[in-house]
Structure 1
Amino acid sequence: MIVKTSDDVNLHVEREGTGMPCLYLHGGPGYWSKSFQHLAGDLLHKDLKLVYLDQRGCGRSDLAENEDYTLDRLLLDLEEVRLELQIKEWYVMGHSFGALLAMNYALKYPNAVKGIILSNGTLHMKESFAHQIQKGRELLGLEHDSINIEEYRIPDLVDTFFSTVMQLMEENLFYKLQYQSIADKEKMDEIDAQLDTQPDFQQHIFSSEEYFQDFKKLTPLIAKPVLVLSGKYDHAIGPDHQEGFDFRDAIYQPLDSGHHPYLDCPEEFKKAVIGFVKASK
């Protein structure tokens, strides 16, 4: 279905499953929800009514003609989807970049949120970028002294990140930041074959000081129950990234996975998510 926002952007939304509603927020930034729906849907649909959203400017949703990709606008999109679907309260699940949206949505619209599920999520993109650069240099056999992110201007950090990514891709090593095997990457690539990537959204995010804030500092403000899933081999976010979180009421569950636990260890992922939902009802 299509949900038209108050500033006339058509958002692609799909719903599947039964039980408590749960909004899924994909990562990227600039990705889509289809791969998660394909790989994790059957795991969760008996217990959760999943709402799959492609964020504005991403996947099957429209670009914003007004080029409004601010954090407040993205959060308002989520709230307008909830109101359009007539959902009183839902869980919000954010993967990767989507975790940043999920937590900020819960801060801005607390009465709409039953609980938060952060799956391999970043709440400090500068830190996650620095980890990818360091791990990338290690894979390339280059020097990889620790990076002081406070010394980096965002444009310089982004340029260094993309330079490292290009070198990794030339050596067919980039997949190692997210996947444990090339076969896992190929499974995801098959699903993503129809993804028409538009650069506008990602370019805005990667050039915006707003999104590179340290959102870890806001975690003590969250009063809702939180499930934090992390991957022991996730070098897109950093396997220890969650150590700086300070939620009031949180369960921390490291999984034997890379960046996509619903691909690497689906039963572990299902058990953690459904267990959290049942415990927080």
Structure 2
Amino acid sequence: MKKLTLGLLVIAFLISCKPQPEQQAENTSQDYWSFENRDDQFTGGIKMIPIQTEKGEFKVWTKRVGNNPTKKVLLLHGGPGMTHEAFSCFDGYFPQEEIEYIYYDQLGSYHSDQPDDLSLWTTERFVEEVEQVRQALGLDSSNFYLLGQSWGGILAMEYALKYQDNMKGLIISNMMSSVPEYNAYAQEVLGPQMDPEVYKEIKAMEDAEDFTNPRYGELLMNHYYTEHVLRLPMEEWPEAVMRTLNHANNQIYVHMQGYSEFGITGDATLKEWDVKDRLKELSVPTLVIGAQYDTMDPKHMEWMAGEVQNGRYLYCPNGSHLSQYDDQKNYFSGVIDFVNDVDSGSF
């Protein structure tokens, strides 16, 4: 009887020492939205982060949404020279999953400093800018996910190839790993899918470098953008997307991307960019997102997911280049699953 009593006392003692569910530290919804003890409470999450360059110090705009100690996603917008506004729809999906995310306008973009110096617009300098932003925001391998879309995907790949040890996860959204292969896809696959007369007229204006002709923009809007950039009638394009287009820095865009929408051509600095042979160097968990109607070849993106050491492919069957808008169900469920799987260690 004494042995039984002693055993019960031991069990009771062990139970009393075990943390109960209400005592365990958890990230609650209240914690997620709290600005308490944050250094950006005064500005509601906005920070102007100083960036050191060979041409001096400049500031870039960032805004954090939410708090999560292990899931923080830094968003790299497209362009180059566009803005974070194209990611506005993330507000509709990340908060209920309690994923912290950071909007960010790269140097030269609308909400950040806009120096007038072409020498600043290189992938190498942008990579160092992202690294300085990471440090300023306290992101590290325990929490730092980097999501880059379009040009942001180029920047994300370049950053990961140099700094993947600082990362927890990489998301490459709607960007191939080779501009020459992107050019071939645009000119040999997408262009010929258009009405032959329309494509002929567009190519004639491109050959004549008549890019400022209103007719050029009209044909692209009505026959290309609504098929391969965002699959909605122009009058239904989200206000945030129109805002990022209106806020674009054309100096950066033309210098790096060029005038043509059928690949990167002319004297654009990204014309020969290609890291497809280096993807095998990436060991960080990686999600690659492709879409059926994208300006980028979805088969190439699927191939990329198999080239990296620890990859997953997310296919958006209804999406185009901005598949975060025209295939939201597949896009966000896939991104959220990836972040949660990496965070839980099940990826």
TM-score, normalised relative to structure 1: 0.83
Greater shift, 132-141 or 95-104, is seen at 132-141
Instruction: State the shift of 1:30 in Å.
Output: 1.9
Q: Is the 8 A contact 1:133 1:161 kept in 2?
A: no
Say if 2:151 is the partner of 1:97: yes
Look up the equivalent residue of 1:51 and give its one-letter code.
I
CA deviation map 1:151-204 (0-9, x unaligned): xxxxxxxx5597799766333213222122315x73235543373222221132
Instruction: State the shift of 1:47 in Å.
Output: 3.2
2:186 to 132, 146, 152: 132
Structure 1 pair 101–168 and aligned structure 2 pair: CA distance change class (3 A): same
Instruction: Output the CA distance in 2 between the equivalents of 1:165 and 1:137.
Output: 23
Look up the equivalent residue of 1:14 and give its one-letter code.
K
Instruction: Output the CA distance in 1 between the equivalents of 2:223 and 2:239.
Output: 15
Structure 1 pair 142–102 and aligned structure 2 pair: CA distance change class (3 A): same
Instruction: Output the CA distance in 1 between the equivalents of 2:125 and 2:239.
Output: 30
Structure 1 pair 239–210 and aligned structure 2 pair: CA distance change class (3 A): closer
Structure 1 pair 14–160 and aligned structure 2 pair: CA distance change class (3 A): farther
Say if 2:333 is the partner of 1:264: no
1:195-274 equivalences under 5 Å are 195-206=246-257, 207-209=267-269, 212-234=272-294, 236-245=295-304, 246-256=307-317, 257-274=319-336
Look up the equivalent residue of 1:270 and give its one-letter code.
F
Say if 2:137 is the partner of 1:85: yes
Structure 2: gaps spanning 5 or more residues: 1-46, 200-205, 258-266
Structure 1 pair 107–17 and aligned structure 2 pair: CA distance change class (3 A): same
Instruction: State the shift of 1:110 in Å.
Output: 1.8
Instruction: Output the CA distance in 1 between the equivalents of 2:131 and 2:183.
Output: 29
Structure 1 pair 168–180 and aligned structure 2 pair: CA distance change class (3 A): farther
Structure 1: gaps spanning 5 or more residues: 145-158
Q: Is the 8 A contact 2:140 2:168 kept in 1?
A: no
CA deviation map 1:88-118 (0-9, x unaligned): 2311001111111111111111221111111
Greater shift, 98-107 or 50-59, is seen at 50-59
Look up the equivalent residue of 1:59 and give its one-letter code.
Y
CA deviation map 1:121-142 (0-9, x unaligned): 2322232233333423431315
Structure 1 pair 254–64 and aligned structure 2 pair: CA distance change class (3 A): same
Taking every aligned residue pair, what percent have the same amino acid on both sides?
A: 24
Say if 2:174 is the partner of 1:120: yes
SS of the aligned residue for 2:83 comes to coil
CA deviation map 1:198-257 (0-9, x unaligned): 2221132133545632211111010111111111111x2233231442111111121121
Which residue pairs with 2:217 in the alignment?
A: 169
Q: Is the 8 A contact 2:282 2:308 kept in 1?
A: yes
Structure 1 pair 200–233 and aligned structure 2 pair: CA distance change class (3 A): same
Which residue pairs with 2:32 in the alignment?
A: none
Instruction: Output the CA distance in 1 between the equivalents of 2:302 and 2:335.
Output: 20
Q: Which has the higher contact order (CA 8 A, sep 6+)?
A: 1
Q: Is the 8 A contact 1:26 1:33 kept in 2?
A: yes
Q: Is the 8 A contact 1:216 1:244 kept in 2?
A: no
1:70-81 equivalences under 5 Å are 70-81=122-133
Which residue pairs with 1:35 in the alignment?
A: 86
Paired residues in the alignment total: 265
CA deviation map 1:44-63 (0-9, x unaligned): 13332111111111232222
1:16 to 62, 65, 68: 65
Greater shift, 122-131 or 258-267, is seen at 122-131
